[in-house]
Structures are given as C-alpha cells and as structure tokens.
Amino acid sequence: MKLERTVAALVAEARGKQHHTLADRLAKALGAVAPRPRQAPRAVGGSVLPDKVRDLLIERPARRSLEDLTLPPEVEGQVRDLIEEQSRADLLRANSLDPRHRVMLAGPPGNGKTTLAEAIAFDLGVPFFTIRYDAVIDSYLGETAARLRRVFDFARATPCVLFLDEFDALGKERGDVHETGEIKRVVSSLLLQMDDLPSYTVIVCASNHPELLDRAVWRRFQLRLELPMPSRADLRRWLEHVGADRRALGVDPAALARGLEGGSYAEAEEFLLDVKRKIVLSNGLPNVVVAQQLKVWKKRFGPKAGVAIENGRQEPDPTAHSDT
C-alpha cells in the first residue's frame, strides 16, 4: 500500500512537471492506470477523467486569476501566501515542511467562494474539479462513502484544486440527533480521506452555513476564510476594478455603489450585465438606463437601495469621501 502511494505521488509530481512520458511509464509499471483510449471523453476543461470518477466530477475551466477579484485585504493576503507555498513546495519539502492545502471558505452566497477557488486553480496552473453531489450521495448504505473514496483516490494522483461547494451537505455535525447513522459514517469517511490527501492536491470547501459543520471538520482546515457581504466601499472598489466608471455608464462609481448596497457581488454583476444589454438593445443613454434598473433593484432590496440615482439624476453621496 505504501509503495502504491509513493509511486502514485511520483506519477502526480511528474505530470505536474509536464514529464508525461515518465509519468506514463511509472503508472504502467504500477498497473494503476490502463492505457488511454484515443477517443476518451474529456471533461469541460480538457482533462481525461478515468471511468471511475467521470460521473462524479466536473472540470470547470479556470479563467479568472486572483488579480481579477476584489477581496478583503486579509483574505487576499492569506490566499497569496497559499499560492506562494504551493509554487515553492520543493523548497519547503527540502526543509521537511509541506505547503498548506486545505481551505475553508465561509459566507453568504454570491460573494465569490467559487470564483476564489477557480482563481487558486488558475494561479497554480492546475485543473479545477468540482464534486457532483447528485452523483456522489446515494441512499444505499455505504455507497456514498465508496464514491467519495474513488474521488479522493483520483485527487491523490492528480495535482489539482478539488472544490466541494455547499460543504455542509457532507460535513454536518455528527452530534445532530436529526441526522441518520449513514451521514455520520460519511462524515467519518470524509475526514479520513481529507487527512490522507497529499499536499500537492489543494482541497477548497465552501459553506453558506458553517455553523452546521462538524467540529472535527473545522480542525482539518489550515486556512479558514470568510467572504462577507460587500460594503458600499467594497462595491465601489469592485465597480472601478471591472471598469464600470463614469465614462462607461455616465454615473459616478461612488453613487452607483450606494445604490447597489445590500446586494452581493453576484447580484451586482448581474445588474451590470442587465444594464449593458439594455444599452445595446435600446441604444439608450447609459445613465438613464442605470437609473431605470436601479428602480427595479430598489423594489428588490428595499427603500434604502437605489436612492443615489433617480430618473437619471445623481444625488450627492455624503460618505463618498470615506470610500477611498
């Protein structure tokens, strides 16, 4: 068993360094991987997935880097540390140290947890895999744990970012009297699988309800990062970062951020897309279109939202000076 793990690690390291010939020879010598068929189905991002996990994982193309995101400074700093540790893992291992590779992201939906996991994969230059819960979770006793083992066996031999969204679906508190014995066994199996992951595989878990997670699950994560709802200042920085400035929309970013306050980044992004569609289709004035869409936003998020701009006229923002 130790020999198999050692060779599997060598295969993964060789593939990570693009030494595919060496990796194939090691894999064939071990007998762990069958020869690849010419027309093997490919995941979205282009990786060839083995039959045993083809229905359990989805590969998402990683297109956005850390530079494309607007993050709280402390979160960005810790993620950059993680990327540096992974990028210089050889130096750490030469000093009997391993890079951190287990990350928990917590916070309300729509504030960048999935995008941050994607950015980590992009900056590390490794595949980005997401577990398909609909395929992994099964009603039959023991089948869920067996499928999880197949996923983690694949991840152990493949340098990647393995993303588990809505992690509370798997990592629930085992002391919950409302949960069945099966889910408790799944949590125990999951903890063992996480402990056995090599440091070249980065596992990123996300939860909208971290309070539901088992306490032993929390202990496994070396980085625990919170992505909260954006403040007005956060939204202003994000608007400026994505190019939604006065020149593009005819609206001051500080005033627009005040109007969008109360929504998530995902909702603000959808707002901008709606504005751009209407500008293109109606050939209307950008500031007028923004004002019209803010009225819709106001109905959705309450009377305090969308007050900065009305009928194409900008109201002064008394706190704009504090957002810089």
Using one digit for the tens of pLDDT, what is the confidence trace for 32-44? 444 343 333 344 4
Q: What pLDDT score was predicted for residue 20?
A: 61
Paired residues of 57 in beta bridges? 131
Q: What pLDDT score was predicted for residue 134?
A: 82
Q: What pLDDT score was predicted for residue 41?
A: 39
Q: What pLDDT score was predicted for residue 318?
A: 39
CA distances (Å), 305 to each of 185, 233, 258, 269, in order?
46, 15, 7, 16
Interval 264-323: pLDDT, tens: 999 999 999 998 898 888 877 888 888 888 888 877 765 545 444 444 444 444 344 444
Q: Which of 91-100, 118-127, 130-139, 150-159 has the lowest mean pLDDT?
A: 130-139
Most confident of 6-10, 52-56, 100-104: 100-104
Contact between 207 and 167 (Cβ < 8 Å): yes
Q: Where are the domains positioned within the chain?
A: 1-35, 40-226, 232-323
pTM, whole model, 2 decimals? 0.75
Interval 46-86: pLDDT, tens: 667 888 898 899 999 998 999 999 999 999 999 999 999 99
Which residue in 120, 107, 74 sits closest to 230, CA to CA? Answer: 107
Paired residues of 129 in beta bridges? 59, 162
Residue 138 — very low, low, confident or very high, per pLDDT cuts 50/70/90? confident
DSSP 39: T
Q: In whole angstroms, what is the distance from residue 152 CA to residue 162 CA?
A: 9
Average pLDDT, the chain: 80
CA distances (Å), 54 to each of 58, 132, 135, 238, in order?
8, 10, 10, 37
Contact between 129 and 58 (Cβ < 8 Å): yes
**CATH number for the segment(s) 40-226:** 3.40.50.300
Interval 233-254: pLDDT, tens: 999 999 988 887 777 788 888 8
